[in-house]
Chain A
Amino acid sequence: DAKTTQPPSMDCAEGRAANLPCNHSTISGNEYVYWYRQIHSQGPQYIIHGLKNNETNEMASLIITEDRKSSTLILPHATLRDTAVYYCIVRGNQGGKLIFGQGTELSVKP
């Protein structure tokens, strides 16, 4: 399973875009990139996933570089409720299991 590297923490001003980077330089060709977030004490919540093309849904956008070695999760207009730990995950090959790293703790400030 490919490992991911994320900054341990980031700050963002409310209303501004939050750009969360992730490095996954050892990703293999058939592995997807997933993003989940965990608001304090709750179970993780799915945000978005992608293989090679950029993806957008109602929560966020995912930008994957052409070589697939890194990606960026974009929250276009961060709110205080987006304060959470964000996990970038490359999916394991067996049973769809997710290997969680330590994630990025995003603090959205007024």
Chain B
Amino acid sequence: NAGVTQTPKFRILKIGQSMTLQCTQDMNHNYMYWYRQDPGMGLKLIYYSVGAGITDKGEVPNGYNVSRSTTEDFPLRLELAAPSQTSVYFCASRVGETQYFGPGTRLLVL
């Protein structure tokens, strides 16, 4: 199993641009999560999903959108990038009591 994969690894965006961060897991987990981590801080939950077709907001959802059309994929959309969205983004999936995290996407908005 590849586990949780994320693309791209790194991206620079201009203010106002949009992009989609991709997340895929091959473990058939129903639960998936998106977090962001600002420098020196813990992770903050953006959105999560309990299964295909079901998503819900986390702590910091403003400026982001998600969809979950399949069990495997949970993309995160930024519509109008702002400097405040400069961060490292982690995707995770969960089975039982354990969350498995991807390697992260580093995003810089200038």
Contact = CB atoms under 8 A, between A and B. Distances in A.
Given A42-B104, A100-B43, A95 B48 contact: yes
A45 B58 CA distance: 20
Contacts of B56: 94-95
B36 to A, nearest CB: 11
B64 interface: no
Contacts of B33: 97-98
The binding surface of chain B is classed by DSSP as strand
Interface stretch (B13-21, B66-74, B75-83, B91-99): B91-99
A41 interface: yes
A32 B96 CA distance: 12
B41 interface: yes
Given A34-B97, A43-B92, A96 B31 contact: yes
Interface residues of A, number: 22
B43 A49 contact: no
A95 B90 contact: no
Contacts of B103: 42-43
Contacts of B35: 100
A42, A87, A97, A102, most chain B CB atoms within 10 A: A97
Contact of B94 (A43, A87, A96): A96
19 contacts: A32-B97, A34-B97, A36-B99, A42-B103, A43-B92, A43-B101, A43-B102, A49-B98, A87-B42, A95-B48, A95-B50, A97-B33, A97-B48, A97-B58, A99-B45, A99-B59, A100-B35, A100-B43, A102-B40
Interface of A: 32, 34, 36, 41-46, 49, 87, 91, 94-103
Given A36-B99, A43-B101, A98-B99, 8 more contacts: A43-B92, A44-B90, A49-B97, A95-B56, A97-B48, A99-B45, A100-B43, A103-B42
Interface of B: 4, 31, 33, 35, 40-45, 48, 50, 56, 58-59, 88, 90, 92, 94, 97-104
